[in-house]
């Protein structure tokens, strides 16, 4: 019987969590690829010369100064185009962000750098270096988050496997308990159920220890927030494995109560 067959081995919160983790992994992988491509394209762009700026050095008069102040140079245009064609072109961008260029760059690189890239006139050497550093940071954040997502997936799968085993054993013992009135037999079944209960509690304790021993990668907007809150904040429960473990324990304890009542 698969882990989705029947009420005794159904873990809907863990299944939902695994779907969330899979979806998030796909998004982060796409964004990681996008930032790698963006940074590669930026490295091929030449920043403006140090002399570029709002001062009229070409003798073009007020009209030339106005154009210089309002129109981005070739370097900035290339950066914006590269960002739109990489980071803002990931399949989930509209559904997850739906930001303007300035808003998304400000979220990823910080408001000051985002504004300068999105609205400024020149890709100065200083701005260029800051952009390279910031894009490297965005890339590294995702590289750090991916292993954390994989550990979360493995942890959820481990808890699910334990609960499957506990619930199947518990269901069989519970059925046996209802087929007998022999006190010694019921005591034996209760002792086996107590072992299953301990296995469930151990799985919950291991899961909690794992959660408390790690923190989310410093992805923009997730700093200082636990990984589970980052992932499951929009779900019915923010601790899906613990919630399904409690449901399993309730089932096992119900079987144990039957044994105890029947022998009293």
Q: Per residue in 154-168, pLDDT tens?
A: 999 999 999 999 999
Can you state the angle between helices 111-119 and 74-85, rounded to 10 degrees?
Answer: 110
Q: Give pLDDT, residue 134.
A: 97
Residue 213 has pLDDT above 70, yes or no: no
Q: Give pLDDT, residue 69.
A: 52
Which residues contact residue 264 at a Cβ distance below 8 angstroms, ignoring those fewer than 6 apart? none
- Is residue 190 within 8 Å of 256, Cβ to Cβ? yes
Q: Give pLDDT, residue 63.
A: 42
Which residues contact residue 92 at a Cβ distance below 8 angstroms, ignoring those fewer than 6 apart? 26, 27, 30
- Does pTM top 0.95 for this prediction? no
CA dihedral over 68, 69, 73, 77, signed as positive or negative: negative
Site of tokens 């009542």: 261
* CA atoms of 246 and 166, how far apart (whole Å): 12
- What is the C-alpha radius of gyration for the chain, rounded to an integer number of angstroms? 28
Which residues contact residue 32 at a Cβ distance below 8 angstroms, ignoring those fewer than 6 apart? 139, 142, 143, 146
* CA atoms of 120 and 142, how far apart (whole Å): 27
Q: Give pLDDT, residue 60.
A: 43
Minimum mean pLDDT range among 34-38, 187-191, 229-233, 256-260 = 229-233
Minimum mean pLDDT range among 184-188, 220-224, 244-248 = 220-224
Two structure tokens written together for 4: 């989705």
Q: Give pLDDT, residue 68.
A: 46
* CA atoms of 97 and 31, how far apart (whole Å): 12
* CA atoms of 111 and 103, how far apart (whole Å): 8
Q: DSSP assignment, residue 223?
A: T
Q: Give pLDDT, residue 54.
A: 43
Q: Give pLDDT, residue 214.
A: 57
Q: Give pLDDT, residue 156.
A: 94
N-terminal to C-terminal alpha carbon distance within the chain: 35
Q: Give pLDDT, residue 17.
A: 96
pLDDT digits (tens, 9 = 90+) for 76-111: 999 999 999 999 999 999 999 999 999 999 999 999
Q: Give pLDDT, residue 195.
A: 97
Which residues contact residue 162 at a Cβ distance below 8 angstroms, ignoring those fewer than 6 apart? 199, 200, 203
pLDDT band for position 7 (50/70/90)? very low
pLDDT digits (tens, 9 = 90+) for 15-62: 999 999 999 999 999 999 999 999 999 999 999 887 655 433 334 444
Residue 14 has pLDDT above 90, yes or no: yes
* CA atoms of 96 and 17, how far apart (whole Å): 18
pLDDT digits (tens, 9 = 90+) for 175-212: 999 999 999 999 999 999 999 999 999 999 998 888 77
Q: Give pLDDT, residue 248.
A: 95
Calculate the dihedral angle through the C-alpha atoms of 34, 36, 38, 39, rounding to the nearest 10 degrees: 160
- Is residue 264 within 8 Å of 186, Cβ to Cβ? no
User: For the chain, how long is the longest CA-to-CA vector?
Assistant: 106
Q: How far is CA 46 from CA 42, 109, 118, in A?
A: 8, 20, 17
Q: Which of 125, 34, 48 is nearest to 83 (CA)?
A: 34
């Amino acid at each position: 019987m698969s882990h989705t067959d029947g009420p005794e081995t159904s873990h809907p919160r863990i299944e939902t969590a695994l779907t969330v983790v899979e979806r998030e992994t796909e998004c982060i992988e796409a964004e990681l690829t996008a930032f790698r491509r963006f940074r590669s394209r930026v490295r091929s762009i030449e920043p403006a010369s140090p002399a570029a700026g709002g001062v009229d050095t070409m003798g073009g008069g007020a009209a030339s100064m106005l154009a210089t102040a309002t129109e981005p140079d070739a370097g900035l245009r290339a950066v914006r185009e590269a960002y739109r064609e990489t980071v803002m072109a990931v399949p989930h961008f509209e559904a997850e962000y739906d930001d303007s260029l300035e808003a998304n760059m400000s979220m990823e690189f910080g408001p000051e750098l985002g504004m300068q890239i999105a609205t400024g006139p020149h890709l100065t050497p200083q701005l260029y270096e800051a952009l390279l550093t910031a894009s490297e940071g965005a890339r590294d954040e995702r590289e750090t988050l991916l292993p954390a997502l994989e550990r979360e997936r493995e942890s959820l799968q481990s808890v699910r496997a334990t609960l499957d085993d506990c619930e199947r054993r518990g269901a069989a013992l519970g059925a046996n308990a209802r087929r007998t009135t022999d006190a010694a037999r019921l005591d034996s079944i209760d002792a086996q159920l107590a072992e299953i209960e301990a296995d469930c509690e151990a799985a919950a304790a291991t899961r909690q220890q794992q959660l408390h021993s790690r923190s989310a990668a410093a992805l923009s907007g997730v700093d200082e927030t636990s990984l589970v809150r980052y992932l499951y904040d929009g779900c019915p429960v923010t601790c899906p494995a613990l919630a399904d473990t409690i449901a399993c324990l309730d089932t096992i304890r119900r079987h144990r109560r039957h044994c105890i009542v029947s022998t009293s």
